[in-house]
Amino acid sequence: MKEYEVYSSLKVPKNSKIIVRLDGRAFHKLSSDLDLEKPYDRTFYEAIVKVCEDLFSEFSPIFLYAFSDEISLLLDNVPFDGRVEKINSVVPSFASASFVMNYDVDFRKPPSFDSRIIPINDEDVLKYFKWRQDEAWRNCVNSYGISYLKTKYSNNEANDKIKGMKLNEIHELLFQNGINLNDIETYKKRGIGIYRKDKKVEGFNKKEKKNQTSYRSYVYTDWELPIFSEDFLKDIGAIK
Ligand SMILES: Nc1nc2c(ncn2[C@@H]2O[C@H](COP(=O)(O)OP(=O)(O)OP(=O)(O)O)[C@@H](O)[C@H]2O)c(=O)[nH]1
Ligand SMILES: [Mg+2]
């Protein structure tokens, strides 16, 4: 019967880094079921960050980036020998289980994440993460915009109004009404990243009888990400 498992030999290209991107399924419904705060719900974000930290320790990506209900993992050590079915089933189910374990709410139904794989070379890694970070910013402006408009208009009117507005027009409207997006928390505008950092450790080398500096790496969750640049991705070792 093995021959019926027609997708089981599908593998990602050898020697290629990959990005695995997860996205919460129907989280719009989940957010209304759980009555999440709009535009940003801190406890939801904290639960998503716990999921990200679990994913980081399980799959050791070089870099993990998240905003809203989506999580991207950049991997160079591709798990499961690169088998697409394994990656696209185990990673999102691990995330769903972690989400339930780390989020103390009464779910109406089991939450799930979808998953896709993007083989990627170093030249495109910056492009990819800039693309997702731009989306985080668009999402931020739109979320604040719609929340503000709903305080002035009916839901339908607010939705119609925002559809006809450019990003800078929403930004300006908010500013005119006392909401300055420059002042809101960085993670709302730029998302959250996880990567390894080096910690300086001073010690005494008994054999050589002298002080010695060494570096130990640790996992760092960055709520204050910069706008992505080549330098930043080089610094964290995401690209050469
Ligand atoms: N209230 C609230 N909702 C949030 C928050 N973060 C994410 N969401 C919800 O999550 C949704 C994520 O967008 P999408 O992934 O495009 O929508 P989805 O409903 O998950 O649909 P699919 O991913 O296509 O299954 C947003 O539309 C919001 O409704 C938050 O902090 N507060
Ligand atoms: Mg979603």
Strand partners, 117: 20
Q: How confident is the model at residue 84 (pLDDT cuts 50, 70, 90)?
A: very high
Among 69, 109, 135, 140, the mutation site with the greatest number of ligand 1 atoms within 8 A of its Cβ is 69
For residue 188, the ligand closest to its alpha carbon is 1
Ligand 1 atom closest to the Cα of residue 31 is 3
DSSP 8-state class, residue 206: T
Give residues with Cβ within 8 angstroms of 111, minimum separation 6.
Answer: 24, 25, 27, 30, 96, 99, 100
Q: Cα angle at 134 between 131 and 137, to 5 degrees?
A: 155
Q: What is the mean pLDDT of residues 65-82?
A: 98
Distance 187 CA to ligand 2 centre (A): 18
Q: How confident is the model at residue 233 (pLDDT cuts 50, 70, 90)?
A: very high
Structure pTM? 0.95
Distance 143 CA to ligand 2 centre (A): 15
Q: What is the mean pLDDT of residues 54-75?
A: 98
**Distance, CA of 234 to CA of 226 (rounded, Å):** 13
Q: What distances in angstroms separate CA 208 from CA 57, 90, 176, 201, 205, one per listed residue?
A: 35, 48, 66, 17, 6
pLDDT of residue 97: 98
Q: Dump pLDDT digits (tens) for 46-56.
A: 999 999 999 99
Pick the CATH number of 2-124+185-189 from 3.40.50.300, 3.40.630.30, 3.30.70.3000, 3.90.700.10: 3.30.70.3000
Strand partners, 24: 113
Ligand 1 atom closest to the Cα of residue 27 is 20
Distance 209 CA to ligand 1 centre (A): 58
Instruction: Tell how far CA 187 is from the center of its chain.
Output: 10
Q: Dump pLDDT digits (tens) for 169-220.
A: 999 999 999 999 999 999 999 999 999 999 889 889 888 899 999 889 999 9
Q: Write down the domain spans for the chain.
A: 2-124+185-189
For residue 40, the ligand closest to its alpha carbon is 1
pLDDT of residue 32: 96
Q: How high does pLDDT run on average in the chain?
A: 96
Q: Tell me the percentage of the chain whose pLDDT exceeds 90.
A: 95
pLDDT of residue 40: 96
